[in-house]
Every structure is written in C-alpha cells, then in structure tokens.
Amino acid sequence: MASAKPTTGMEGARKRPFWTIQRKDHVTGLIFVAPQFIGIITFVFVPLILVFYYSMHEWNVLAGTFTFVGSENYEELFRDRAMPGVLAATAIFSLGLVVLNISLALLLAVLVNQKLTGMSVFRTLFFSPVVVSVVAWAIVWRFLLQSNGGINGLLYMVGIEGPNWLRLPHTAMISLIVVQTFKSVGLNMVLFLAALQGVPRELHEAARVDGVPPFKQFYRITLPLISPTLMLVSIVTIVGALQVFGQIEVLTQGGPGTSTTVLVYYFYQQAFQFLNFGYGSTLSIILLGIVALLTYAQWQLRRKVVFYEH
Amino acid sequence: MNTKLSPRTQVALYGLLCLLLFPFIFPTWWMITSSIKPISQIFAFPPELFPSRVDFSSYTTAFEFQPFARQYFNSVYISVVVTVLTMLICSLAGYAFARIKFPGANIMFMVVLMGLLVPSEVTLIPLFQMFRAWGLSNTHWPLLLIQTIGASSVFATFIMRQFFITLPLELEEAARIDGLSRLKIFWTIALPLSRPALAAVAIFTFLHSWNSFLEPLVFISSRELFTLPVALVNFTDAYGGEMWNVQLAASTMSAIPVLVVFVIAQRHFIEGLAHTGLKG
Amino acid sequence: MKLFKKSGLAAALYASAALISMNAAMAQDQINLRMLIWSANEDHLRLFNEIADAYKAQNPQVSVTYEAVPYGEFPTTLTTQIAGGNAPDLTWLTETGSFDFIAAGAMFPLTETFRTTEGYELEDYAQASIDSWSQDGELYFYPFSTSPFAVFVNNDLVREAKQKTPAELVAEGTWDWEQAVEIGAAVNAETGKHGIIFRDFDYTGWTRLAPLYTGWDVKLWSEDGKTCMMNAPEMVDAMSFLHDAIFEKKAMPGPGIAADFFAGDAAMTITQISRANLLPTGDDAFEWDLVPLPAGPIGDYGYVGAAGIGVLKASPHAQEAADFLAFFSNKENVTKLARYFPPTRSSVLTPEVLAASNPLLSVEQLTDVVIKGVVEGRSAAGHTNYEQIVQNVRASLDSLWVPDADVAQVLQATCDNLNPLLQR
C-alpha cells in the first residue's frame, strides 16, 4: 500500500502532520473491527475464562454458597456413572447424523442437479424444513411418532405394526437422527449443489467419450473435485451435531432411560434444571475439548483427503 | 453432467425424488391438517389424512393461553434487529480485515476466529451470571447482544472477509487516489458489490436467531418476553399436560409465514448460500 | 420588584421542592410485590387481583402483581429467577418442590406474622397440613391448595362393557384396585377404548402413580432420606400389580399411546378433582361420575396434591409480603379461594362452601371425595434435590415399561442408581 507521506526533503521546514493517511487508516481499521472484536472478547473470551474458574467451585444457588474445591468437579466427572453413557450417546448421535446427513445431501444434490424440468421446485421443497422453527419441526414429529400417531398409522395401512418409536432406546435414537437429518439436510444439499456445479462439464464429457461408467465418473472425478466442500461441510455438520438440543428436549428429554442424553443435554440438565453451576461448567469444558479435538483432527485430515487442482 | 437421459431413467428419477420428498413435506401437511381437527380426532386410528370435522378453536386458544402475538413479535423483531446489526458490524469488520493494514490486525483476526470453535453452550453459564450482574436478566438484551457480536457472528465476519478479498484492488485504489475516505469507499463501492455475500450473511443470521432455543430458554422467564421456540413448548395445561391441538396450531402459525416468505424469495436464499465461498 | 420576584420565586421553589420530596417520600414507600404462580386461568387471576385490590384499599402503598410461569418446570424457573437476581417476593410451590427451598433457608418464617395478625386464627387449619409445611416448628408456607385425587368415571363405557359401575361398588363396599383393573380390562376388551388413565403419567411422570402406590403403603426413601426404599416388597408388589394391569390385563393404555379420558377415550382417570372443568358438554358429553380412590392392601385411603404459598427471604420486602400473605389467607379470602383451591381451614371446608364453587359435583361427592380426601389424604414426601431425584428415577424406571420386565430387578437397579444421589 502506497504511503502518501510527502517527501519533499523539506520536512524540517514545515510541521509533519500527525494524522498521516497511514495513521488515519490504522485508526479506521481499528474502529471498523472494534465492535466485533470487543464482542468476542466480552462474550466469548471472558466467559471462557470464567467457565474454567466456575468449574473449580461448588456452587449452591439457593443457599448462595460458592466454595473453591479445586479439581473435585473433574474427579466427580470421572466417577459419574452417567458419563460413559452420555459420551456413547453423543458419539452415536453425532456419527449417525453426519453419515446420514452427508450421504443424503450428496444424493439429493446429484439428483436435483439433473437437467430436468421442475428441479427448482424439488430443491425448494427439500430445503423448506431448514427455515421452519426447530421446535415446531420437533413438535410435529413427536406427534407423528406417537405409538398411535401418523407414522404408525401409515405403516398400519400397509400392514406393518410400527414400534413405539420414542419409548424404546434404539428406535428413539434412530428417530432423533432421522428427524434432525430431515431438518438440516436441505442446507448441505444446497452447498453440495453449488460445488457440483463448479465441476467443469468437459471432464465428464471426456470421460463419457472414453466410456467411463457414471458411477466411476462420480468416484474419480466428481468426489475429488468437491472434496474441499465435503470437508468443510463435514466439520460444520459434526460440530453442529454436538450442539443439537431443541429436538432432544422436545422429542425424548434424554430418554428412554438415558439413551438419548447427549453431552449438551446432560449439561443443560445439570446446569439449568438442577442448577449445579459448578458441575455444569465442568461439562462445558469437556464439550469444548471435544469440539476442539474434532476440528483439529479434521483440519489435519485435510491434507490427506482434500484434492486440489493446483 | 449428462444432458440426455432416457425416458425410463427420467421417470425413475422423478419417482425417486417424489419418494424422497415424502418425509420433507408430510410433517408439514400433518401439522396443518391436525391443527384444525377436533381434539378427539387427532389420534384417531386409523388416521385421517383429511380432517373429517374442522375445528378452528385451537387457533383462538393459542392466543388466549399465552400472549402468543407478543411472543411472535418478539421473535420477529429480535431476528430482524440482530440480522441488520450483524450485517453492518460484520461487513465493516470483514472489510477491515480484508483490506486495511493496521497494527495487530492478524492477531485480532485470529482471536475473532476462535469464536468459531467455541460452542455457545460452553459460555452459557458465565454469560448468565454476567447479565445478571448487569441487571439484564429476563430481558431481551442478552439475546440481542450475544447473537449480534458473540460467537455466532464470527461466521458472518469470515464470509464477508473472504468476499472482500476477492474484490479487485484497482477499484479501491482509484477511489483512494481520488481522496475518498475508507468509510466512503466501503459504503459506496465495496458494500454494494458484496450483495451475494451479504445475502448469505443475512440468511444465516436470521435463521440462526429465529431458530435459537437454548439461549431464550435460559435467559428469559416471563411469558411476555418468550420467543417463538420457547413459547411453542409451553402450551401445556396447568398441570403440565399436552395441549396437542393448540401446539400444532401455534406451530403452523409460526412455520407458514416463514415458509411463504421463503418460497417467494427462494432464489435469493439458495443463490446467496451458494456464494458463501464455502467451496473452499 | 426584585424582592417580590425573589420571594415569589423562592416560594415557588420551596413549594415545588416540598411537592417533589413528598412525592419522593410516597414513591419510596411504594412497595410492589410479585407472586410467582403457575395458573394462567383467567378466573383464578381475577380472584387474585380482587384480593390484591382489597388489600391495597387498606394498605395503599402496597401493590401486588402475579406472574404466571408453566407448571412443568416451576421449581427450576423459580430457582433460575433467584439465581438471576430476579427473585419474586412470594411464590407457589408443591409440597415436594418446597423441600429444597426450606432446607436451603430460602424461605421467610411465617408463624409469627400469622399468629400476630388480628382475627387470623391459625388453629383453624388442620394440624396435619400445618405440619407438612413446617420445619422445626416453624411454618414456611401457607397451605394454599390441598386437592384430593379421585377417580372420574365414564359410566357409558362401563355399562357398555357390562360391568358394575364404581359407584355401585362403592355402595357395596367392594371398590378396590383389583375391581378397578377388572373394569378397565373389560372396557378395553369389549369396546376397544382404554381402561384406566393416570393423568399426566404418560410413562414418564412416575410421581403421578403415587395415588396408586400409596395404597400399598410405599415409602420412597427412609425417614432420614438417605436410603432408597423403592426396592422394598411394598413397592415391588405395587409395581407388579401395575405392570400386570398394563401388559397382561391391558387395563391401561401402553407406553406411547396418547389418550385422554376427557375426550372419551377411557373408562376411568385418576386425577385431581379440579379437572372437573375439562368434562365435555354437548355432542361429546358422556355420563360421568366421581368416586374416591379405590382401596388398596392397606384399606381405604386418600391422596392429595398440595400446594403452598411462601415468602422468599431474598425479597427486600419480606415482612410486607408476609403481611400480605396473612391477608390473602385469612378466613374471608380463603372462603373465596375455596371456589378453586380446596382449603384446610376447617371452618371453610364444608359442603355448602364447596358446593358454591363446584357446581358440577353433588353434595355426596363433595363430602365423600373432596372433604374426606382433604382431611385424610396422604401426600408426597419431599427431599432436597427433588428435581434431580425425579429425573434419576424416571430414567431407571424406563426399563419397567416393557412387557417382559423383571419388576424386582428394575426396582433394585433404580435404588442402586438413586442411592448415591440420596447420600450426597
């Protein structure tokens, strides 16, 4: 960037202005980013430090006591009989969601990408659940998944007796994964669609001329070329999966038993239902650790999996 | 992609698409039709696809039971305010990070990016305490502030920065030589050009705010201040029993307007998303 | 001229200063009390506001507002308000929810205020109700509503299944749980509708089963609250009976089936009498009846769901709030409140008073079910960390609601999971 300081060699003769263009620029830059920066410090960094601080205290909100207990909350975490189940539920839910969501999104994107009339209608309809309120979507599904609700009603009409979806551990988890997938897959579909449309047609033409079957084309040409998007969408989806709360609160409240009590739900119970702020803070730290770990791992994998043209 | 598909493949394709479409639109259909069924018919077995008797009382009950209109308004105004403010603040920040060399820019950008890593739940307890200390519990201020400049706004800043980097330098250089201030350049040149990215930011921000459930649940305890998602789960009678028909009516009322707006503006929605530069 | 102006100005200044300070003084004395409640019913609110206005007429500086919050998470919401520095002055709480608050010392003692309020007559209250809301001889909540559980019956369905109605069985003296289940099973077999519904139980709210297992003399935990007693024979028997009724006899709708007695889906429902306003009229009406709870192995018994109103110590106007509460709960107002909230004041708990407010119920029903229930009914045992306990047990009991569950084993596991929590 060119500096606009005049260099006439006669600096001694006149006062150098304080507000040079460069300085003005610096200040402008700082002012522009100030709101965002201050926001992040105040609402992300300071709370982060506080969370660590809280996690080392025993805190009874009703009695108003706040006592330092060091690492006791963390020890309790290890002794907590519920934790293995919570971690398992979290893993199952997140992985299931990512796998189902991404494969479905890819499938839909490929289908909708075909040059046929009415594809934009399908695209819109697949995307529509994304804009509906999370809670509204979950309420309708809870209603549908009742033992005598719409889903089982439809199954009944083809002669199948549907299970009690939300009351049995395995079907409850499957229901959660499916409901969440249908809610958010439209978004990923659109992102994949954009990526697919970025694949040069000539490559496919050339492959077709060479007699390469469509599936192999997909494998060898399409997938590598959209791998950056795949990677990014995976990260976003899995981090999102770790934060799904609304569906669980409405559909299963963590049940049956504790089979759908994922980490973020367990955190909510401890922190805001039982008001164990100290222990809740400890759980937050664990959640943060998992997200950081996953993001880092995926970022490292980027080298190996993502294909770059250059 | 192949341009010529045999008629058989085309039919198969349409068939597959319609089949897949089912779980996306059946819930909405069921929600609307059940909300106007009398309560005794809601769980009729075998289920009725079309209501045999129509009963709109659940809609009026929704408004009587809770200050539903007010809650609806709450969600709308919060989402709109947050979206507009975010667009402004994050495009300014994104532009600065992309175009202005100022001391500490890189470090500050790293700090801001950290916000992407931190899930909102992690900071919830301290934020709750902070707002309590400021006397802002049970107000809309926590929602407005956190959603506008907290962790969730970092994505917007990131998108804007990525976009501004792609703008040709010559445009701005010419303007600078003409003596235009940064602000003017931003406002009259850079921002108008960034429409696709801004659209994406607006959509993401609005949806995120509209859908947020955990924060309003935690920060707000008075009915009149509830947002829609929290209001929807509170349609239970005095002892906690479900009021299915009212819940469905309320859900319908909250979903339909957004769906209608979406259908009308869907081209912008989807194209804006495609421009997020998420391609990598 | 100047002097006149000066004196005029001065006078004006003094006058306005006086006015301002008077207003300020009055404003300083202005007390706004907030009571947290869970009823959003308009009729209830109208009555509460009447009482508040009457109090204001005598005490102009005190205003009272009522804030309604959903019942489901009431203790949590209240605690969150307290944690958020936004505590109300007065609050409703159930007998189980109040435990934590009393134990934490969060409630303002009421005995003194009630004793010294003229004409209050603390002795008018049934002693049992006072005891259940006191700790170490100090009263912390006024027994606001003691609502007995009873059985609403759909006689149309019962007759359709060719069964004797519960009312007939009561007259014969043979009305017990076995009989109730028989009727339920028959209704299900004959009409396809459901037998018995424990309202708001839905296979998650296990505490709504208390009207049943109390009949087996079940204790959930030991006197000192440290040991789980749900694996004791009493509970095992009660739950086996229930499990059998659901899965073998099909006298109750199974898990995940949404059914509503008041929509005509079932023969009987166990709930509080206040639900009478849900009975349908017009086309959907059916012939209904109200009978006491069936007898259990311990014989006849009653069960009540109690709610109280207390003052929070955290309130800056705790004493004023207590004074208002004394007014709210005096004989005159309790008589008005009895329309919706069964009182434990013996002078008010009469069929005549109750009849005025419960037009749907007959005098016999009022006497046999309501009054008897209020006076003799047992209620739930509280515990600290109640919310967490309920959640913990609920998760364990989920394994019980399958056809081939081993009741004793599930209850043993329940206690294993619960004991660490009780012993904290």
Contact C417 A81 (CB under 8 A): yes
Q: Cβ–Cβ contacts within 10 Å for residue B22, how many?
A: 11
pLDDT for position B234 = 81
- Chains with at least 3 CB pairs less than 8 angstroms from chain C: A, B
Q: What percent of chain C has pLDDT over 90?
A: 36
Nearest-Cα distance to chain B for C73, in Å, is: 9
- Chains with at least 3 CB pairs less than 8 angstroms from chain A: B, C
Q: Answer yes or no: do C52 and C187 share one domain.
A: no
pLDDT for position B280 = 39
Q: Which residues of A touch C93 (CB under 8 A)?
A: none
Specify the 3-state DSSP secondary structure of B240: coil
Q: How far apart are CA C126 and CA C148, in angstroms?
A: 15
B-interface mutation test, from C37, C80, C269, most B Cβ less than 10 A away: C80
Per-residue pLDDT at B140 exceeds 70: yes
Per the structure block, which two tokens stand in for C70? 């959903």
Range with top average pLDDT, A246-255, A261-270, B198-207, B270-279: A261-270
Q: Answer yes or no: do C313 and C273 share one domain.
A: no
pLDDT tens digits, C185-228: 999 999 889 999 998 888 888 998 999 999 998 989 988 888 99
Q: Is residue C221 part of a domain?
A: no
Residue-wise DSSP of B6-68 = -HHHHHHHHHHHHHHHHHHHHHHHHHHHHHTS-GGGTT-SSPPSS-SS--THHHHHHHHHS-H
Contact C86 B128 (CB under 8 A): no
**Any idea which of A1-10, B270-279, C316-325 has the lowest mean pLDDT?**
A1-10
Select from B43, B128, B239 the Cβ nearest to the Cβ of C84. B128
Q: Answer yes or no: do C319 and C283 share one domain.
A: no
Q: Answer yes or no: do C346 and C329 share one domain.
A: yes
Average pLDDT taken over every residue of chain A = 84
pLDDT for position A14 = 61
Per-residue pLDDT at A133 exceeds 60: yes
Select from C76, C256, C417 the Cβ nearest to the Cβ of A164. C256
Q: Is residue C422 part of a domain?
A: no
Per-residue pLDDT at C1 exceeds 70: no
Select from C68, C71, C77 the Cβ nearest to the Cβ of B239. C71
Q: Answer yes or no: do C168 and C53 share one domain.
A: no
A305 touching B (Cβ < 8 Å): no
Q: Is residue C198 part of a domain?
A: yes
Contact A157 B46 (CB under 8 A): yes
> What are the backbone angles phi and psi of residue C68, rounded to the nearest 5°?
-95, 130
Q: What percent of chain A has pLDDT over 70?
A: 93
pLDDT band at C26 (very low <50, low <70, confident <90, very high): very low
A-interface mutation test, from C394, C399, C410, C416, most A Cβ less than 10 A away: C394
> What are the backbone angles phi and psi of residue A183, rounded to the nearest 5°?
-70, -40
Contact B241 C200 (CB under 8 A): yes
Last residue of a domain, one of C246, C279, C303: C303
Nearest CA in chain B to C272: B239
Q: Answer yes or no: do C41 and C180 share one domain.
A: no
Amino acid (one-letter) located at A278: G
pLDDT for position B2 = 46
Q: Answer yes or no: do C29 and C175 share one domain.
A: no
pLDDT tens digits, C134-177: 888 899 999 998 888 889 999 999 999 898 999 899 889 899 99
Q: Which residues of B touch A40 (CB under 8 A)?
A: 111-112, 114-115, 149-151, 154
Range of the domain at C294: 148-216+233-303
pLDDT tens digits, C241-299: 999 999 999 999 988 787 888 888 899 999 988 777 778 877 778 889 888 899 999 88
Q: Is residue C412 part of a domain?
A: no
Q: Is residue C398 part of a domain?
A: no
Q: Answer yes or no: do C299 and C311 share one domain.
A: no
The complex's ipTM works out to 0.83
**Any idea which of A148-157, A245-254, C385-394 has the lowest mean pLDDT?**
A148-157
Contact C199 B239 (CB under 8 A): yes
Range with top average pLDDT, A54-63, A261-270, C66-75: A261-270
Select from B103, B115, B258 the Cβ nearest to the Cβ of A131. B258
Nearest-Cα distance to chain C for A148, in Å, is: 6
pLDDT for position B34 = 83
Per-residue pLDDT at A184 exceeds 80: yes
Per the structure block, which two tokens stand in for B132? 């309590």
Q: Answer yes or no: do C259 and C190 share one domain.
A: yes
Select from B24, B119, B183 the Cβ nearest to the Cβ of A182. B24
CB C338 within 8 A of CB C357: yes
A277 touching B (Cβ < 8 Å): yes
Nearest CA in chain C to A63: C104
pLDDT band at A195 (very low <50, low <70, confident <90, very high): confident
pLDDT for position A264 = 92
Task: Tell me which residue of C288, C270, C261 sits closest to C360, measured CA to CA.
Answer: C288
pLDDT band at A80 (very low <50, low <70, confident <90, very high): confident
Q: Which residues of A touch B149 (CB under 8 A)?
A: 35-36, 38-40, 42-43
Per-residue pLDDT at B248 exceeds 70: yes
pLDDT for position C205 = 85
Q: How far apart are CA B90 and CA B158, in angstroms?
A: 8
User: What is the average per-residue pLDDT within B55-63?
Assistant: 82
pLDDT for position A309 = 42
CATH code of C107's domain: 3.40.190.10
Select from A139, A186, A198 the Cβ nearest to the Cβ of B251. A139
Select from A61, A148, A274 the Cβ nearest to the Cβ of C385. A274
pLDDT for position B1 = 44
B-interface mutation test, from A66, A132, A243, most B Cβ less than 10 A away: A132
Average pLDDT taken over every residue of chain C = 85
Q: Which residues of A touch B115 (CB under 8 A)?
A: 40, 44
Q: Cβ–Cβ contacts within 10 Å for residue C85, how many?
A: 16
Spell out the residues 6+ positions from residue A128 whose beta carbon is closer than 8 angstroms to its own.
A186, B24, B25, B28, B259, B262, B263
Per-residue pLDDT at B278 exceeds 60: no
pLDDT for position C28 = 55
Spell out the residues 6+ positions from residue A248 whose beta carbon is closer than 8 angstroms to its own.
A176, A254, A260, A261, A262, A265
- Total residue count of chain A as it appears in this document: 310
User: What is the average per-residue pLDDT within B105-129?
Assistant: 86
pLDDT for position C25 = 47
Nearest-Cα distance to chain B for A93, in Å, is: 17
CB A194 within 8 A of CB B273: yes
Amino acid (one-letter) located at B82: V
What's the structural domain count of chain C?
2
Q: Cβ–Cβ contacts within 10 Å for residue A258, how many?
A: 25
Nearest-Cα distance to chain A for B257, in Å, is: 10
Nearest CA in chain B to C264: B40
pLDDT band at C234 (very low <50, low <70, confident <90, very high): very high
Q: Answer yes or no: do C299 and C152 share one domain.
A: yes
B155 or A307: whose pLDDT is higher? B155
CB C140 within 8 A of CB C102: yes
pLDDT for position B279 = 44
Per the structure block, which two tokens stand in for C139? 């009263």
Q: Is residue C408 part of a domain?
A: no
Contact A256 C398 (CB under 8 A): yes
Per-residue pLDDT at A229 exceeds 70: yes
- Total residue count of chain B as it appears in this document: 280
Spell out the residues 6+ positions from residue B51 whose beta carbon is closer than 8 angstroms to its own.
B33, B34, B36, B37, B41
Q: Is residue C384 part of a domain?
A: no
The whole model's pTM is what? Answer: 0.81
Q: How far apart are CA A289 and CA A286, in angstroms?
A: 5
Contact A167 C104 (CB under 8 A): no
Q: Answer yes or no: do C247 and C132 share one domain.
A: no
User: What is the average per-residue pLDDT within C71-91?
Assistant: 84
Q: Is residue C161 part of a domain?
A: yes
Residues within 8 A of C (CB atoms), A 70-99 only: 81
| HSE of B142, CA atoms in CB hemisphere, 13 A | 31
Q: What percent of chain B has pLDDT over 90?
A: 15
pLDDT band at C413 (very low <50, low <70, confident <90, very high): very high
Last residue of a domain, one of C303, C334, C364: C303
Contact B263 A124 (CB under 8 A): yes
Specify the 3-state DSSP secondary structure of A66: strand
HEC string of chain C equals CHHHHHHHHHHHHHHHHHHHHHHHHHHHHCEEEEEEECCCCHHHHHHHHHHHHHHHHHCCCEEEEEEECCCCCHHHHHHHHHHCCCCCCEEEEEHHHHHHHHHCCCECCCHHHHHHCCCCCHHHECHHHHHHCEECCEECEEEEEEEEEEEEEEHHHHHHCCCCCHHHHHHHCCCEHHHHHHHHHHHHHHHCCEEEEECCCCCCCHHHHHHHHHHHCCCCECCCCCCECCCCHHHHHHHHHHHHHHHHCCCCCCCCCCCCHHHCCEEEEEEEHHHHHHCCCHHHCCCEEEECCCEECCECCCEEEEEEEEEECCCCCHHHHHHHHHHHCCHHHHHHHCCCCCCCECCCCCHHHHHHHCCCCCHHHHHHHHHHHHHHCECCCCCCCHHHHHHHHHHHHHHHCCCCCCHHHHHHHHHHHHHHHHCC
Contact A275 C80 (CB under 8 A): yes
Q: Cis (ω within 30 of 0) for the bond into B47?
A: no
Nearest-Cα distance to chain C for B169, in Å, is: 50
Q: Answer yes or no: do C173 and C141 share one domain.
A: no
pLDDT for position A310 = 34
